[in-house]
Structure 1
Amino acid sequence: MTGISLRYRVATPEDIGLLLPLINSAYRGEESRAGWTTEADLLISERIDASGLLDKIQSPDTVILLAADGNDVLASCCELVWRPEKGIAYFGLFAVNPKRQGGGIGRQVLLYAEDYASRQWGAYKMEMTVIWLREEIIAWYARRGYRKTGETRPFPYADIGNGKALRGDLYFEVLVKDIQERN
């Protein structure tokens, strides 16, 4: 596990300029190839734009968590969406600076997000979606207790904006983990 001490906080609209480069560099474009989470061979586009990120930050059932290192440099972020009708928190928009991937930051942030969803909302499960072709990412989550549900969800081709998908067979696998006993 990494020896990096992280500090967490919930994002505000003022953080958009800080978050966009981190998120987009972790998923798409040449910079994303420095890490192992790149989708650059699957999609040509930004992962999210300022308007989409603002919508998430302002949504009442959503938080974007920021994780900064001891020098107050943004190292990672993730999105949590509370689905109270199911007792489930959705985990997404997970980004670790590509040059810092593989050092345990992602593991720490995931654990913090699980704890946050359990403490703040009483969530008993964490759910996420991963592009089915990303076997190494699915395996990483499996090592952290997530399991495939057998459910799939369509890929939002219409929401790519000015980008394009490099494949027409994309869809998401749904993964889930129990994060606390249900009362």
Structure 2
Amino acid sequence: MSPVGKPHPKDKFTPAEDEKLRVLVQVLGLSNWKKVSEYMGTRNARQCRDRYKNYLAPYLNSSPWSKVDDEKLINLVNQHGHKWSLIAKQFSGRTDINIKSRYALLMRQKERNRQKQESEPEYIQENEQMPIVPQSTTEDLSQQPIFDDCADLFDFDISESFDFTM
């Protein structure tokens, strides 16, 4: 409860409250937020003004952000820092809240991509080749001694085991 006894919830505005606020602004205008809040009943003047100006006003640009807009936003933040109201003036129909929220989203995406890249294993590039056999074993094998008589390797006479006569 507020000091004057009216509840001022911090809950999200409902669709019914949004519609009621739009109608009240059409009837009462943009300069009497205290009166608008009295008719709303559950919201104070600041809540009504902020909700309308940041989310409901017909002049707001609610179209998706383009890649060009994102790049422009990042460049402006690099130039001016977090001066959202100043930066918002460079975007037609975007509020300081829109600008701040979009920048925060871009930074979260950038961080997620950075973490993803760090967690991926590094693979050998296609043009890099790992040796399959160490070079010390690739000596010319033709220089090695060859056994002329295999009988020296085995302790039996093969002609005793098989009949080669036909």
TM range (shorter): under 0.3
Select the structure with the greater relative contact order (CA < 8 A; seq sep ≥ 6): 1
Bigger fraction of residues in strand: 1
TM-score when scaled to structure 2? 0.24
State which structure, 1 or 2, has the greater radius of gyration over its C-alpha atoms: 2
